[in-house]
Every structure is written in C-alpha cells, then in structure tokens.
Amino acid sequence: MSVRAGSSLATAVAEYAADDARGEALGTCYRQVRDATRALAAPLSPEDCVVQSMPDASPVKWHLAHTTWFFETFLLESRLARFRPYHPAYRVLFNSYYQAVGPQHPRPQRGLLSRPGLDEVLAYREHVDRQVLDLLAGQRDDRREIAEIVELGLHHEQQHQELILTDVKHLLAANPLRPAYRPATPITPASTGVPQRWLRFEEGLREIGHPGPGFSFDNERPRHREYVGAFELASHPVTNGEYLTFIEKDGYARPEFWLAEGFGTVCERGWRAPLYWEQRDDAWYVMTLSGVRELVADEPVCHVSFYEAEAFARFSESRLPTEAEWEVAAADAPLDGNFVESGRLHPAPTSSRRHPPQQLFGDVWEWTGSAYRPYPGFAPLHGAFGEYNGKFMANQMVLRGGSCATPRSHIRATYRNFFYPPDRWQFSGIRLARDARS
C-alpha cells in the first residue's frame, strides 16, 4: 500500500484537531510516512548510510535521525510534561540549522558520525514513534497544536525522503564501481517522440500562492495578486535528445549562451554535460539509481543546474518561466505523474496519452527564472519554525513541480522548492517558456 495522499493527511489532521475520536487516522498517516522513510533505507548497507559524499549532501543515517529529532524536539519536548530526551547529545548532533533550538553539529562533519550506528538510529526512531503514537492516542486539550506540528513534521519527513534518494545517488555515483541502489523496474515502452508544442496563456492579474485551507509551507503564503503578461509554455520538459543538440553544437564552450557566473562555473569545474552523464566510445551513458545505462533520448534531461537551464533556454531562443507563470499553468493541471511511488526513480518520456501541458508534476523539478524571495506580506512561522524557510531566501532559485523522487502526496501547484544556481544533484530539469506573440 502506498503512502496516503496529501488530502488524506489533511483530513486526518483536521479531524484530529477538531474531534477527540480520530487520533487513529492521524496515527496511521504518521506511521505510513515514517515507514516509507525507513523503507527507502532498506536496500542500503550500514556503510551506505553513514558516508557523506559532499557537504551539501547528508548521510542517510543522518536523515533518519534528523527527521526523528524533529518530532522529538518540536512535538514531544514541547508537549510532554515529563519529557526526557532519548540521548542528550542528539539535540546537537541531529539539529540541522535551528538556531533557536541551540548549537548544531557542523554540517560538513555529519559524515564523521560512525556512532550512533544505524541500528541505534533505528531504535531511536522506534522510541520516538512509540511516544508520538501514544501521544496521538491519548486525551489532550492541545490537539490543534499537536496536529499542526505532526502535519509539518510529516511534510518535513517527505522532503527528507527525496533527499535520501538524491544524496544516495550522489554517493553511489562517486564510487567507481557505480553500484545500483536497487534494480531497475521494467521500463514502459519509450515514447515515440511526442513533439514539443507551445501552449498559450493570456495576460491578467492573477492570484498566486496557497489559498488555504489545507497544508502549505509558510513560503507559499500569502496568496496575493500578481500581474502576469501573456506567455507561452512548452508542452513538456526538455528531453535528453534536445539537450544533446546543445552539447553537440558546443554549447558548453560558447559564452554567449551563459550567465557570467554560469560560464565561470563551467570553466572552473570542467562541466561538459549534465551531472551523471558519462561518455564512452562516443556513446552517452547515465548513472541512475539502478546503475549506469545508455542515455534515452526521449527522457527529460535531468541533473542540470540553473546555469545550464538558462543557457539551454537562450540557445533555444526562449527563456525559463517565472514561478508565477508556472503556477498559472499548473493551477488546473491534474496532480499526477511519475512520483517516487512509481518505483522508477528516474524521469520517464512524455506520454502522448496525456493532455498537455504534460509532466508538470513529477519526473523533474523545473527551474524557474524566479529568485527565491518572500511573497508580498510573507510572515514566517513563529519560533524555531520560522527558520524552516525564510532564512534561506537569498541566492537561490525557485523550482516547481516535484520529481520522480517526490512523494505524490507532498507536492502541489503552489509548492516552492529552491536550490542554488550551480546545484545539480537534485532531479532538476528544464521547461521552456517565451513571451506570447501578440
């Protein structure tokens, strides 16, 4: 059985907050999300779970512990009268960046923690889970507060589910043996090359941001007005085949396509192709979570930086959409696609059976041309939760739509993801836009 859809969680949260009788449904949601995290670690050895392959990535074990720390610190500690920490050192070890909670073990040193071992971390998870479920099952008059924290904690956990996959992929790709995370699932027949089309959207004063009710992160709020001019959006993401043309036309060596810092990064790091691409005897291969295999031309290009996305767009005489444009286009799109639940763990070719715009959700996160800054009227959550999103609103760009590593119940049209322009280890791809011809 798959993880319950976001709407189920929302329902369970609302019911729990409103009515004493339904702790069970929220408990079930809780258990499902937590189990899904643990299931992601199942194919991995303790050694796979401890190594940190770069400062930006975290060890899987750290993800397992930190998501637990989140519930322990923000739920148990704040709500249990007789709270006792599972281990006093964990408060620091597994604090990611919450200054309001206190000091943090330095991020680049997360990979030095051979202890606690994976089994100890799993025991920590079980201990906290038991306490959370007990709490949810009990009589409480702070059910609204509890519900909010559990809901945030579960969405937080889902973010780390995706990070577990991207961080493990980075680790395995750094190993010359190129080991697989798990065997490939049978691949659906490749598309026969569904052609790109331009879809037109008319100008207008739009409402952008999460309308409520239901869960959203603080950075999606408040819903506000934004004027959006007429534009056209590509019917589906840029494919490997299209991107190969850019490479073959020497795109990585032609500064005219690039932002200055983008070209600087290309030169400094010697980029010649997306991350995880390998050229052998004139053929292109790509590292996936199922090991290395030949590049498939019809699949969406993936693991490109914002710089590459911008350069490809300029090469294509178009541009990236703004996040408002993307949201306008996605507002009425059905929330389905190739998510983590498909088990594919890799973007899939466009299906001709769907109505365009295709693949807005799932497959690859789509870089937008918008810097990650607060919406007008933005107010961060109170206390430590205010550090969740707001303090990262500089130097990053917004991505939209989720990927093949995102849980289906986690994504929505208003969801704002954000990474640094040179980042490539996420499942990040490109959708083109252009000004509408009048």
Chain positions contacting its own copies, by CB under 8 A: 45-51, 53, 61, 89, 92-93, 97, 99-100, 105, 109, 111-118, 171-172, 174-177, 179, 205, 224-227, 229, 255-256, 258-263, 306-307, 310, 322, 369-371, 373-374, 376-377, 387, 391-395, 421, 435
Q: Give the whole-angstrom CA distance, residue 170 versus residue 151.
A: 29
Q: Give the whole-angstrom CA distance, residue 229 versus residue 354.
A: 27
Q: Give the whole-angstrom CA distance, residue 55 versus residue 62.
A: 13
In the bound state with its own copies, the residue whose beta carbon lies nearer, of 3 and 287, is 287
In the bound state with its own copies, the residue whose beta carbon lies nearer, of 94 and 339, is 94
Considering the complex, what minimum distance in angstroms separates the CB of residue 319 from its own copies? Answer: 8
Q: Label residues 166-179 b or e (16+ Cβ within 10 Å = b).
A: bbbbbbbbeeeeee
In the bound state with its own copies, the residue whose beta carbon lies nearer, of 85 and 334, is 85
Contact status, residue 65 vs residue 93, Cβ threshold 8 Å: yes
In the bound state with its own copies, the residue whose beta carbon lies nearer, of 357 and 421, is 421
Considering the complex, what minimum distance in angstroms separates the CB of residue 399 from its own copies? Answer: 15
In the bound state with its own copies, the residue whose beta carbon lies nearer, of 142 and 207, is 207
Considering the complex, what minimum distance in angstroms separates the CB of residue 1 from its own copies? Answer: 30
Order across the sheet with 291-294: list the strands.
277-280, 283-288, 291-294
Considering the complex, what minimum distance in angstroms separates the CB of residue 403 from its own copies? Answer: 22
Q: Give the whole-angstrom CA distance, residue 206 versus residue 331.
A: 11
Phi-psi region of 126 (alpha: psi -120 to 50; beta: other; left: phi over 0): alpha
Q: Give the whole-angstrom CA distance, residue 48 versus residue 344.
A: 20
Q: Hunting for tokens 């990979």 — which residue is that?
A: 111
In the bound state with its own copies, the residue whose beta carbon lies nearer, of 271 and 339, is 271
* HSE (side-chain half, CA atoms, 13 Å) at 110: 27
In the bound state with its own copies, the residue whose beta carbon lies nearer, of 10 and 393, is 393
Considering the complex, what minimum distance in angstroms separates the CB of residue 138 from its own copies? Answer: 33
Q: Give the whole-angstrom CA distance, residue 401 versus residue 212.
A: 19
In the bound state with its own copies, the residue whose beta carbon lies nearer, of 179 and 334, is 179
Q: Between β-strands 433-435 and 231-234, what pairing exists: parallel, antiparallel or unpaired?
A: antiparallel
Considering the complex, what minimum distance in angstroms separates the CB of residue 126 from its own copies? Answer: 19
Considering the complex, what minimum distance in angstroms separates the CB of residue 278 from its own copies? Answer: 15
Considering the complex, what minimum distance in angstroms separates the CB of residue 224 from its own copies? Answer: 7
Considering the complex, what minimum distance in angstroms separates the CB of residue 148 from its own copies? Answer: 21
Contact status, residue 286 vs residue 241, Cβ threshold 8 Å: no
Q: Give the whole-angstrom CA distance, residue 309 versus residue 377.
A: 30
Q: Give the whole-angstrom CA distance, residue 53 versus residue 8.
A: 36
Task: Give residue 233's Cα distance to chain centre.
Answer: 22
